[in-house]
Amino acid sequence: MGEVDIDSRIDAIISLLTRLAAGELSARGEMSEAADEIDAIVTGVNMLAEELQANRDEMESRVLQRTVELQELNIDITRLTALGNLLQACDTVDEALDAMKVSLTSLFAGLSGVVYLYRASRNVLEPKVMWGRVSEVHPLLPQDCWGLRRGQPHSVTALNPSLICRHQKQHTGNGICVPMSAHGETSGLLHLTDDSSMPTTSGRLAGTLTAAKTSLASAVSEQSALALANLELRETLRLQAVRDPLTGLLNRRFVDEWIGREVGRTDQSGRSFGVIMADIDHFKQVNDMHGHDAGDQMLKAVAEAIRSSLRPGDLPCRYGGEEFLLLLADVNEQVLLERAEQVRVRIANLQIPHRGGTLLNVTLSAGIALYPRHGATASAVIDAADNALYAAKRGGRNRTALAQRPPLD
């Protein structure tokens, strides 16, 4: 081999090394026909280039995977924030559950899930939100879930074949149970199962219960539990504000709210709503003869009889003292009169036991009025029913009277 050939081959190796150093990892050296020391150097350089290329490919793959994970994390954070905003805008627990179903389906795409909430009895949890490949879900006993028993997330995966919850026996894939807790009390359970056999449009398997998804499940559980607890507290306070503590009926504050809204609806629809103003006859005598305990007992018995006499949607209220107001939407005069008579007859047949075995008899007088027939405003129709009530009292009590139409201008 001539000196010129050696020099040119050395120059080629130097050029190859320069290209590799510049990041051109696809560069390779050419072998000569003679296997000599220079060819060995070229072979070594080529092997080094291939290793560098493999390392760079692996690094680029990791960077790409990490980029995808960060993008998915940003999407999850955005959706989690959107869920929080939705829950804050909800007025009722039912609204919040609807919002959760929409949001959780997106947050846990490819996963199946169930949200359970405790019944008031605290001895069983009922499924409230379901999505994914969930076919039949039954109420859950607290002792059937390791997550609830331990008070912390409990996962079952191929890498962590932990104890399987009894409620998850029918599912053979990965799963996680995350207790939902707020204000120091567990209110429910978020249960996720893996549907990783479902490919996405990108070809990746959907829904794998990664560490990121597990952390997301904990965040969703905490956020949802707090929102639901606040809504339940708000609803409890609202009910306390519009409920009469003695009878459990709605109170005068509720009457004012409802009748104001109903006037607007009725004006738009052209329909009528009715009010029945009812008053216990000779109630003062009951208090005077038998004491206030007997009076309270009578009020509670009458309230329960009124409540059980009405159709779903009719609203019985305690208006004050021994006076009751019944609100009926979308009725005519005949239906209103029939409903008032049903209540009056039911009350007249009551016999209320009192201490010592005394039976207290009770009757009711009632006045009825329709909006807008008997009054052009909410207060006018209530006044009309009140005037009809006093007409029933003057007529002998234990009867129903219809309001008079207001005079034409």
β-pairing verdict for 125-131 and 364-371? unpaired
The predicted-structure confidence for 222-246, as pLDDT tens digits, reads as follows 999 999 999 999 988 888 889 999 9
Contact 124, 141 (CB under 8 A): yes
Orientation of helix 292-309 relative to helix 333-348, angle to 10°: 140
CA 315/CA 102 separation, integer angstroms: 33
Give pLDDT, residue 201: 42
C-alpha closest to that of 177 among 118, 225, 116: 116
pTM for the whole structure: 0.61
Contact 355, 349 (CB under 8 A): no
For residue 329, what are the β-bridge partners? 273
β-pairing verdict for 323-329 and 315-320? antiparallel
CA 76/CA 180 separation, integer angstroms: 19
Measured between alpha carbons, how far is residue 365 from residues 321, 359, 392 in Å?
14, 20, 6
DSSP character string of 172-191: -S-EEEEEEEETTEEEEEEE
Which long-range CB contacts under 8 A does 73-79 form with residues at least 24 apart?
73/212, 76/107, 76/212, 76/216, 79/103, 79/106, 79/107
CA-based end-to-end distance of the chain: 128
β-pairing verdict for 154-156 and 175-182? antiparallel
- Full pLDDT tens readout for the chain, 409 residues: 445 466 676 677 677 667 766 666 666 655 454 445 566 666 666 677 677 777 877 887 888 877 777 777 777 888 888 899 999 999 999 999 999 999 999 888 889 999 999 998 889 999 999 998 887 789 999 999 999 999 999 988 766 666 888 887 665 568 899 999 998 899 999 999 986 644 444 434 345 677 888 889 999 999 999 999 999 999 888 888 899 999 999 999 999 999 989 998 888 888 899 999 999 999 999 999 888 999 999 999 999 999 999 988 899 999 999 999 999 999 999 999 999 999 999 999 998 888 767 778 899 999 999 999 999 999 999 999 999 999 999 999 999 999 998 876 5
